[in-house]
Structure formats: structure tokens, C-alpha cells
Structure 1
Amino acid sequence: MLKKIFFQIHWFMGITAGLILSIMGVTGAIYSYDQQILKWINTDSYVVQAENRDKLTPAELYLHFQHVDSNIQINSITIAKDPTASSTVNIVKEGARRGYNMMVNPYSAEVLPEIKGQGFFQFVQQLHRNLTVGPVGKQITAACTLMLIFFVLSGLYLRWPKKHSIKQWLFVKPKLKGRNFLWDLHAVVGTWVVIFYLLMACTGLYWSYDWWRSGMFKVMGVEQPKPEMQGGKPKEQGPRGASGEQRGDASQGRSHNTNIQNRGHAELSPAQMQTVLSQTWTGVQAKLGHDYSTLTLNLPKKADGQVELGFVDPAPQHERARNKAVYNYQTATIQNIELYADKKLNEKIMSSMLPVHRGSFFGPVYHFFAMLAALAMPLFFVTGWMLYLKRRKQKKLTQAARLSHHGITVDPNAKPWLIAYASQTGVAEQLAWRTATSLQEARQPVTVKTVQQLTLEDLQSAQQILFVASTYGTGDAPDLASGFAKKILNSQIDLSHVHFAVLALGSKEYPDSYCSFGHAIAAWLKQNQAHALFDTIEVDNANHEDIQRWNNALAKSSKLDLQAMHIDKTFDRWTLTQRDLLNPNSLGAPAFNIELQAQHEAHWQAGDIAEIQPGNSAKRIAEFMAKHQIAPQTQVESLAVSIEQALWDKQLNTDVEPFANMEHLLEQLHTLASREYSIASIPSQQTLRLVVRQQSDRTGELGLGSGWLTAHTEIGQEIALRIRNNESFHLIDDNRPIICIGNGTGIAGLMSLLHARVRADYTQNWLIFGERQREHDFFYQTTIEAWQSTGMLERLDLAFSRDQAEKIYVHHVLRNQAAELISWFNRGAVIYVCGSIQGMAQDVDQALIDILGESTVEQLRQEGRYRRDVY
């Protein structure tokens, strides 16, 4: 539940604050290199031709500008040691709180061209800090910065249980498709930038909230400077932090004292100022004792003998690594020297917040990657939105089909269509809504309902009805459609006005009951004089060609132009990491614990299904090639692969016409039907676990699915697998009791439910499990007994049929514990059944009916308190 909550908050904040953070990221990346960019586009202002003479001293520059215009008030003068670097004269200018930097030729005092681009960077800075809308924008960006910290931490939390390899954690997998690629890109790149974003967010809040800034000083163990006083009140810090650091200098020669521009020079005449500057420059050169790249002299306010100095090391740690000193020209001594290099690390950090924020504090390599991380901010906004939209679409395909969600004008003369579906695992529901969408795109009015919602009045008032019906188990209706089967299909009603069609879903692996529930619906409609639009269409395991036949038949009978429809099956790449025999020396067929690792960020819920794309063994492919006289390693030109690779997932037990080339051959071969297995683990266990029993035909050849997973695929090889949502078997999200009943490999689905309950610390769990012999067939015995001994499994009942003369099965246990079952039922228990439909599930169903009553069991189904995953 905690993870779900974090996930919901994560995506909700992401799609709301993501745009602001994207703007902040891009502008921050641009602004982080403002000085370098300005110097690059203003070479004529920053670089001059070196001359074979000394640069003009501060005194000479001061005298020059006094002669040019005696009204000029100079704040500071900066001289660089580099013979090609210009000098900087900072002067008082109206509207410029920190003064205006004049770039001058250090040899002639010629004023160089004005710096271009400063206005742009000021706009970028304001956009970054407050979206250019003042205090309101500042609060918005501050709140979004706090959200960024949550995004980083919650993203790590949502990803952390996945103890994958370094490759899975840190490398994007370009071969992934669709949602999995988006999620992988979002998660992997998010992992790359964790440190950058945490540092940017924590330092960015320094300028946002006083309480955060004060907290940083306390945590870092640095005394917080008191704000400057102005008019008897603390001066508003604006873009300066409590340390007095400026965020937005465009020139390293700018004055370190932002109030200098407001000082008058009444106590020193121009002649005296020239003398002071001359003495200071000469004295500093002789007595500073430290090399520098630039030296700034702040013109003194008072004739107190002191001149404030600022100088930068030849190779500074970053652009704000500045040294300070005071020169007393009366005593010719250096006083109060403060070297940046002598500061402790915590003092350096708190006095250099902007370099820490933009990354230059940690060197040019980190600075560059921090800039890339900031530029990547829109990636998370875009991928997050795409994932959100895809999740909405996948969670409820019904939303895409509802007329109210489309601006489609319905044909007023068209007869309404009623589409009813009976679904166990969601496939029939998906096809029903795909059909509805197709009809609505053709301007047809459509209503979609589950068959359990249908009433006789609905059938009497409808003129055109389409049924999409799955067959479950051995020819039964899906669990939720059992009421429809018993009530509606046993009634008689005049449907002579109705035209209908049925799409029947099933699997040819069960030939005796293939699509039987769909055929039962069609037979009942005909018995009640309804008219078939066309013969019932059968669909084998969601086969694309079968679905398209339905679409074509519907288009032909309705004379509508319907778009092609099918169920997309995108299989992901998983690695087979472990395979263990669970029942050595068992009387039954070998059953294996199969473990797989995803090559992407995989998600599923307890109760979901793993759909496997099986393949042919090398032996089977070789026999097929020999039969059709195909040379080994023959290339399929259109696919750029060998014929062996192309045949791995093709149906080879089929008649093949003479073929001219490999492409012609492959056109005749259908893709092997997928196989479904209940998942026995939950994502936080860092692996997807299946329980697979080997199946063999009369010749002893292993079945496609079980053979592929238990024998033909080697450890370390890839498996094509997709997670399929199995909502009807999902775990309840509260602490009501649950009763898990199953046999054989049905333990898989029950184990996932119990793992999730244990993780949630819910202890009202009852497991009833049956197999042949306890000694050989007690799957996951150690785990189950550990749950029992620690109180996580309140009750455990086992039925091993061959351990005594009289065979005992799970339904016998259920009948023997009827009083206990009723007690748990009265406590609100939810019943889960997983395993074989033949025998076990049918017998359990009958036992429940005998103990609780048929109407109660049907009510449990409708309320979601009786859920089955049987096969």
C-alpha cells in the first residue's frame, strides 16, 4: 500500500509540476554557463591585443576617466594578469544595483564594446528563479523544487527493491518497445541524475525559504551572517543569500561590495584618490605574497587608510572562489587577508552556494554533467506524461471507446448496437471495446455491457446485439457470467426482432470444449428466433487472423467501413536465471520452479499472469528443415536472419505448399500460440517465478510451453514474455481474511497472493493445498512452514492423496472443515482458487455450494469474494 501511495503521488505531482521543473531545468542549464557564453560571444570586449608594455594601473585608469568625465563615480577597478585580458571599471549607473561594468583596453583605457547578451541571461535567470512573475512565481518554483526532492526519493524507493545488475540499473535498453522502453528510459536516466537533482534541489531552496537557509547553516556548522542593515531594518536579501553571495554576476571583475555604488567620495579628492590608488597598487604588488589572475581594488569611502581588495587565484576552484584582503596605505601593510583555500569545506560550501548549485564547485567535469542533467529535466516530464497516458489507456480501454470521450457525430438514422461481453481474464472485454470503438468511428451508436449486467428488458429493446464471450475451464461460462448462464440462457423470450453475432473465444488445446460458451449463447439466441448476422466466429488464443475475420464479417454484414482491429502482443526480453526440479522422484510429471529476470523495469500484481511466447527446439527445427530440404543457415533476405532463427516461433506441424523462397515459406506458417502461467512471486522479490509441469504427447515429445521453459531453453538465454493483467484474481487491498485453495502447479498463483499478504503484515491467511505425496510434492515447503511458524499463515491444511490408502483431496479438507469455513465466511473472508479446473476446481465449487448454498456462492462471485484462476 505504501508503494502504491508513493507511486500515485509521484505521477500526480510529476504531471502537474513537471512542466515548471522542465522550464527550471532548461533555464538552469543555460544559465550555468553564462560567463563562458558571454565571453565567447563578446571576444572583442574581453580580449585585447597584447602590447609590449605594462598595463595601465588603477590610478592611471582613474585619472583617465576623471579627465574624460569628472562626474563618473567609480566603484572598483579590476586588473587581470593575462596580457590579453581587458580591465574592468565598475561605475555607478542608475538602475544598476551592483553598478555597471565597463570593459576597457588595459593599455589605452579605450572603452570596449558593451557586453552583448546580458539582457538575455537576466531574463533566463528570472525565468529560472520566479518564472518572471515575481514573488508568486518564486513560491511556485520553490514548491516545485521541494517536489523534485520527493520525486528523487520516491523514484529511488519505487525502484530500489529491484536488485538488478549494474547493466539493468544504469543502461538504457533500446531494444525494448512501447511502454517498457519509456519506463526503462525514465527509470534509468532518473538513476543517472539522482545525485545531481538532489544537490540542485537542496541548494536551490537556499534562496527560496529563510527556514531552509538557516537550517543549512546549522547542519553545515557555519555561523550564519547577519543581514545588512538599511534604514534601521534588515536589508532585503533578494537574490543574495545570507552569506552575501550574488547569484548572477556576468563578470568576475564585479565589485564584492554591492553598496559601493552608493558611496560618495567627498572625503578624498581626485588627487588624493589617485595617490591612494597608486600607493595601494604598488604596495599590494610588493606585499600581497599570493599570485593572482585578477586583482580588484574597491575605491575607499573614507580617508581611514584602508582599501578593500579582492583577488582570484591563478587556477581558482570555481568562478566564486575569491580571496579578500584590506591594504592599509598609511602603514603600507596587508590586513585581514581571507584566503578561500584556507576555509574549511563547510565554510567553502556555504560561501559558494551558486557554484555548488550549478556544479562548478566540483570541477568542470561535474559541472558539464550537471548541465546535462538539468537539460534532461523535460525528458521526465514527457516520458512521465506518456506513461500516464498509456497507463490510463491500458487500465481502462473502455474509456477510449465511450462516445462521450470522442467528438464523433453519431448517424441519427443508424440503429443502436448493444455489445455484451463475458470475460474471465480481460481478453473478451478488450475485444468488446475494440469492436465498440470500430463501430463508433463509423458513426454508430454503441452501448457496451458485461453479460451479468444484461436483463431480459435489454434484450427485448435491442435490435442489434454482438456477444463477445470467453469459454472458461471445461466449457463453462466465466465466473462472473455464471448468473447470466443460469438465468438468462435458461429463459424463453421472443427475440425475433434481434439480429446478432457472436465472437467466441477459446483454446484449441481443449478441443472438447473449444468456444463452447460462445456457441451456447448463439444456440440460445437462435432458439428464441433471433437472426444471425453471420456464423459464430471462433478465436483461438486471441489469434490475430481470427479477430480480423470477425471484423471483416461485421463490416460486410453491416456495410460499414470498419478499421482493422487486433490485440497487440508486445513480448519483452526476460532472462532465464534459474530452474529447479520441485518434485524429484514424484509419481507425477516433473514440476519445475522457473525464475526469470527482466531486462527492463517490470511491474505486476499478485494474481497476474505471465504470457510466454514458446519456441521450437533445435531438433524440431532441424527435422522440419530436413523434411522440406532446406539447407542449414539459409538466409531470409527480408529479415536479415537465418531460417533457423526465423522458424523458432513458427507452427511447424502444418501442411506447406511448394515455396519459391524463404519468405514464401514463412508466409504459410502461423506464429505459435502463446502459453499462460500464473506468477508465483511479487515484484519486490526481484524475480518472476513460475511453476511449470512438463506435459508430453503420446509420442513422449514435450509440449511447446513446458518443453520450452523446462528443457529447450538454457540458463542465461532469453525468454519472450509479457505480463498480462488478471484483474479477476487480484488480491484485495485490505486485511480481510483470505482462503487460498489449490493443487499442483496452482500453488503458483496462491504463493503470489500470500507473499503480498506477508509483505503487508496481514496474518488472517488460510492455505489449503493438495498434491500426491508430502515427501516429494510439497512445493515451497520451507517457505510455507516458515509462514506458519511465524504466524503469517493462520491456518494450513494439506491433502496429499497418495499418502494413505484412501485418497484425500482439497475438497475433502474443505468439507471436513465446513464449520471453520463458515466462521471465516462470516468474518468476511475472500476465497481464491488456483489450479486444475478438471477435478479440483469443480469439486471445490461443489463443496462450497453444499456448505454455503448455491445462492451464497453466486453472491460471493458477484461481490468479488470468490475468485478463480483455473485451467
Structure 2
Amino acid sequence: MPMPIPAPRTVLFRLHWALGLTAGFVLALMGVTGALMSYEEAITAFANRDRTRVEAGDRVPLAPSALAARIDAQAGGRRTNILTLSDDPQASVFVRFARDPKTRERPPSLYADPYDGAVLGPVRLEAAFATVRDLHRWLLIPGGSKGWGRTITGACTLALIAFLATGLYLRWPKVHRWRIWLKPSLSRPGRPRWWSLHAVAGTWLTPIYLIIALTGLTWSYPSFKDGATWLLAGTPERAKPTRMAGSREVPPPPETASEPALDRAWAAFRAGEGHEAGLAILTLPGADTKAIRIRWLPRGVDAPSARNEARYDAATGALLATERAADMPLGRRIVENILEVHRGRFFGDLFALLFGLAALAMPGFAATGLTLYILRRRADARRRGTERTTGPVATGTKPRRALT
């Protein structure tokens, strides 16, 4: 006798709980770590509040080349790669070093005094957040981005999309009312209460989880990233910055033997493109680098999606190209700030908070889903026990609709 073919609803229901018992727990872990990473900057700034401030007085900040040289002299062979400079006279300098050429590992970052180059100390919690990041991206499995961890987290991200699709299908009501879709029925006892909480919360958070999943796939699957880039920006590769019409440009000072190109570029930046910059991230040129890169935010703006960029010739300090975020098409801005879209900061502080809360809710979905599974198994066991005692249910009885 051939086996009966299960209904599509039954197949999707089984897929939903099967993924919940496997990928659901990985997604719960990724949710907690993702929420922590969303506020990494704020937490790190609080933990290092004694090292992010200096006494300014009437001191004059060092030029970038002199500042980098003094830091390197105290760094034990490490070479300064990035300086984050602020127009706040009491702000210290955030320093990142170049990667080790052999291990490709980046040395710990530190804070320094912009007026004399004195090292104020390493960045507290940097190593802890590096561990959280590795746990979020590849579960601390050996091999990093080239190991099985990336494969597992990528598959679980796909599972999140499957959760959203099957969950909406399984709770599709026969009568469409906003109360059915958006209001949980917490007064109902037992399984119906847990199901209502699980389903309604999932409905509310579906748009956020969809954005998180689609942006997360860009790190797991390069082909998906190339396709998304082509769809949003028209090219899988990032176009080089171009000089924008109407930008204020000041030619660099005349070259002198005593003034490095880095300092000439910085002076030209402060007098031209960077005259309104509140925060500037200066990437120093390396042996194989042809440009000095300066990314900057206007005063009073802290949204990374508003970051502008200027590039200067590493040999002469002359301006090569500039690019302002306000002049970029929306699709290009999304591609350039995919991490900020992933954690909600691209849309503003309120959405960043909502994304963080949604990430923290992922363990809740795993818990309520597991509770529903256990309660269903218990109910099935009791029903089978009743059938063995009283006989099978009479034929023709309409089967009860399964709760998801």
C-alpha cells in the first residue's frame, strides 16, 4: 500500500520545527553576539573613558607624520596604519597598527596623546569583542572565514529566511483582521498562549529579520554579495571615488624637503575638503600604497553612513579624488555601508535600537519554539495512550489544525 503524500502545510510545519531544533539555537547565539556588537563602540568608549580624553591647554597638535613616528618609537616594532583624529581639542587619538606581514594578524590598538604622541594605553575590551565577532561569524571554529564555521552560519542565515517564509504561511488566517496578525492572545492557556506569542512576535519582527538575513548573506556567499552589489550599485566592484563638482579644493602647499607628503595632504585636507570635519580617519601610506586615504564625518554627525572620503597622492600630497555620501545614489550608499544596514544604524538610532532588541529576541524564539515542540510531543503521547485504551478515533472525524 503506497504511503500517503503529506499535505504541503504538514511538510512546511515539519521543516519549520526541524530547522528550529537545529539552526534555531545557532541563530539564538548569533542574535546575542550581534546585539553586543551593535553597541561595541559605545561600550568600548565607556570602558576607556579615562584614555579617550587629554588635557589640551595651549598645546599644539603634532603633524600626522611626527605623531605616527613618536607612536612607532613606543610600539616595539609595530607600524602605525590608521589614526583617528578629532577636532575636539580634548580627544585622544585612536591608533591602529598595520597587520603582521607573516601572520596577517593586526596588533592591539591603543590611544595616544595628539600633542606629544605619548601612548595612553591599549583599548580595553578590544580582544573580548574580537572573540564575540569570531563567535558571531564562524562560531570560533578553527579556520576562521575559510573553515566550517562560515559555512554553518551561512546555512543558518538561509534557515532564518526559511523560518520567516514558513512561519507566515503556517499562521495565514482564514479571516484577516489586524488583531489576529498583530495582537498576541496571552489569556489563552497552554500551547495556544505560547503559539500566539511566538507567531505574533515573529510577524512584528519579520521585516527586521529579513534585512538582517539578506545583508548577512553578503559575508557568507561572495556570489550573493556580487549579485546584490550589481543590483544596487550596478557593478560588483567598488568604483573609485571621483572628484565632485563644486567641492572646495585648496592646492597643497609647495613641496619642501622638510615636509612629508602626509603632512602636506593633511594640511590640504584641513584647509579644503576637511574644513568642516569633526572626525577624520587617516590611513597612512604603505610601501605599496599610492594614495593617502582620509574618511571623515562632518561636525555633529556620528552616523557611519554619512562618511565622506578624500584621497591624496602619497608622493606629493596632491588631492586625487573626493566623494561625499550625500552625492551617492541610495543603492551605492547601501553597498558602501552594508554593515551599518545589517545592524540598523544606517536608518538612525531608533532603528539601531530596534535591530538590537530584535537580535536579543532570537533566543526567545528558540525557547518558545522548543516549548511548543515539547508540549506538542506530550499531547501526541497522551493522545496515543488514549487511543490504545479506548480505541482509535472514529473515522470521518475532522483532524485538528496543528499549532505552529
Tell me the TM-score range normalised by the shorter chain. Answer: 0.7 to 0.9
Aligned to 1:364: 349
The answer as to 2:212 corresponding to 1:212 is no
Aligned to 1:108: 116
Contact map agreement 2:71 2:118 (CA 8 A) in 1: no
Contact map agreement 2:277 2:298 (CA 8 A) in 1: yes
1:285-319: CA deviation from partner (whole Å, max 9, x where unpaired): 21226511222333334699953322223344633
Over 3 Å counting, the alpha-carbon distance change for 1:144 and 1:106 in structure 2 is: same
Aligned to 1:714: none
Over 3 Å counting, the alpha-carbon distance change for 1:175 and 1:91 in structure 2 is: same
Query: Using the alignment, how far apart are the partners of 1:225 and 1:727 within structure 2?
Result: 65
Contact map agreement 1:75 1:99 (CA 8 A) in 2: no
Query: Using the alignment, how far apart are the partners of 2:376 and 2:191 within structure 1?
Result: 9
> Which structure is higher in helix share?
2
Query: Using the alignment, how far apart are the partners of 1:330 and 1:148 within structure 2?
Result: 49
1:43 to 45, 49, 52: 49
Q: CA deviation at 1:100?
A: 4.5
Over 3 Å counting, the alpha-carbon distance change for 1:17 and 1:332 in structure 2 is: closer
Q: CA deviation at 1:21?
A: 1.1
Q: Which amino acid aligns with 1:38?
A: T
Aligned to 1:280: 265
Query: Using the alignment, how far apart are the partners of 2:14 and 2:289 within structure 1?
Result: 65
Over 3 Å counting, the alpha-carbon distance change for 1:373 and 1:68 in structure 2 is: closer
Q: CA deviation at 1:328?
A: 4.6
Query: Using the alignment, how far apart are the partners of 1:81 and 1:355 within structure 2?
Result: 24
Over 3 Å counting, the alpha-carbon distance change for 1:273 and 1:113 in structure 2 is: farther
Query: Using the alignment, how far apart are the partners of 2:76 and 2:34 within structure 1?
Result: 41
Aligned to 2:158: 146
The answer as to 2:148 corresponding to 1:136 is yes
Over 3 Å counting, the alpha-carbon distance change for 1:202 and 1:317 in structure 2 is: farther
Over 3 Å counting, the alpha-carbon distance change for 1:306 and 1:391 in structure 2 is: closer
Contact map agreement 1:79 1:294 (CA 8 A) in 2: yes
Over 3 Å counting, the alpha-carbon distance change for 1:347 and 1:389 in structure 2 is: same
1:190 to 178, 202, 216: 202
Aligned to 1:175: 187
Over 3 Å counting, the alpha-carbon distance change for 1:328 and 1:206 in structure 2 is: closer
The runs of 5 or more residues in structure 2 that have no matched partner are 1-6, 241-255
Q: Which amino acid aligns with 1:199?
A: I
Q: Which amino acid aligns with 1:21?
A: L
Query: Using the alignment, how far apart are the partners of 1:85 and 1:373 within structure 2?
Result: 33
Contact map agreement 1:283 1:329 (CA 8 A) in 2: no
Over 3 Å counting, the alpha-carbon distance change for 1:383 and 1:303 in structure 2 is: closer
Over 3 Å counting, the alpha-carbon distance change for 1:143 and 1:171 in structure 2 is: same
| Partner SS for 1:396 | helix
Q: Which amino acid aligns with 2:337?
A: S
Query: Using the alignment, how far apart are the partners of 1:291 and 1:220 within structure 2?
Result: 30
Aligned to 2:396: 729
The answer as to 2:319 corresponding to 1:311 is no
> Which structure is higher in strand share?
1
Over 3 Å counting, the alpha-carbon distance change for 1:123 and 1:272 in structure 2 is: farther
TM-score, normalization by structure 2: 0.82
Correspondence 1:197-236 to 2 at 5 A = 197-225=209-237
State the 4+ residue runs in structure 1 displaced beyond 6 angstroms: 302-305, 329-332
Bigger RCO (CA 8 Å, 6+ sep):
2
Query: Using the alignment, how far apart are the partners of 2:302 and 2:84 within structure 1?
Result: 19
Over 3 Å counting, the alpha-carbon distance change for 1:273 and 1:126 in structure 2 is: farther
| Partner SS for 2:10 | helix
Query: Using the alignment, how far apart are the partners of 2:71 and 2:360 within structure 1?
Result: 44
Q: CA deviation at 1:78?
A: 2.8
Aligned to 2:3: none
The answer as to 2:123 corresponding to 1:123 is no
Q: CA deviation at 1:98?
A: 4.5
Q: CA deviation at 1:377?
A: 0.6
Q: CA deviation at 1:380?
A: 1.2
Q: CA deviation at 1:15?
A: 1.8
Over 3 Å counting, the alpha-carbon distance change for 1:277 and 1:180 in structure 2 is: same
Aligned to 2:247: none
Over 3 Å counting, the alpha-carbon distance change for 1:351 and 1:15 in structure 2 is: same
| Partner SS for 1:85 | coil
Q: Which amino acid aligns with 2:50?
A: D
Query: Using the alignment, how far apart are the partners of 1:218 and 1:353 within structure 2?
Result: 14
2:281 to 274, 287, 296: 296
| Partner SS for 1:294 | strand
Over 3 Å counting, the alpha-carbon distance change for 1:279 and 1:329 in structure 2 is: farther
Query: Using the alignment, how far apart are the partners of 1:375 and 1:192 within structure 2?
Result: 14
Query: Using the alignment, how far apart are the partners of 1:346 and 1:727 within structure 2?
Result: 60
Over 3 Å counting, the alpha-carbon distance change for 1:304 and 1:167 in structure 2 is: closer
Query: Using the alignment, how far apart are the partners of 1:273 and 1:358 within structure 2?
Result: 45
Aligned to 2:243: none
| Partner SS for 2:260 | helix
The answer as to 2:75 corresponding to 1:90 is no
TM-score, normalization by structure 1: 0.40
Contact map agreement 1:93 1:100 (CA 8 A) in 2: no
Contact map agreement 1:63 1:274 (CA 8 A) in 2: no
Q: CA deviation at 1:346?
A: 0.5
Larger radius of gyration: 1
Q: CA deviation at 1:322?
A: 2.9
Over 3 Å counting, the alpha-carbon distance change for 1:121 and 1:331 in structure 2 is: closer
Query: Using the alignment, how far apart are the partners of 1:166 and 1:83 within structure 2?
Result: 54
Query: Using the alignment, how far apart are the partners of 1:393 and 1:53 within structure 2?
Result: 74
The runs of 5 or more residues in structure 1 that have no matched partner are 227-241, 244-270, 402-428, 431-447, 452-479, 481-725, 733-751, 753-871
Q: CA deviation at 1:88?
A: 2.6
Q: Which amino acid aligns with 1:154?
A: T
Aligned to 2:19: 13
Query: Using the alignment, how far apart are the partners of 1:302 and 1:77 within structure 2?
Result: 17
Aligned to 1:598: none
Contact map agreement 2:32 2:359 (CA 8 A) in 1: yes
Contact map agreement 2:261 2:315 (CA 8 A) in 1: no
| Partner SS for 1:79 | strand
| Partner SS for 1:75 | strand
| Partner SS for 2:21 | helix
Q: CA deviation at 1:34?
A: 1.1
RMSD across aligned positions (CA) = 3.1
Query: Using the alignment, how far apart are the partners of 1:303 and 1:22 within structure 2?
Result: 43
Aligned to 2:250: none
Query: Using the alignment, how far apart are the partners of 1:361 and 1:90 within structure 2?
Result: 24
Range moving further from structure 2, 53-62 or 198-207: 53-62
Q: CA deviation at 1:68?
A: 5.4
Over 3 Å counting, the alpha-carbon distance change for 1:225 and 1:332 in structure 2 is: closer
Q: Which amino acid aligns with 1:92?
A: A
The answer as to 2:63 corresponding to 1:57 is yes
User: For this pair of structures, how many residues does the alignment match?
Assistant: 373
Q: CA deviation at 1:366?
A: 0.6
Q: CA deviation at 1:190?
A: 0.6
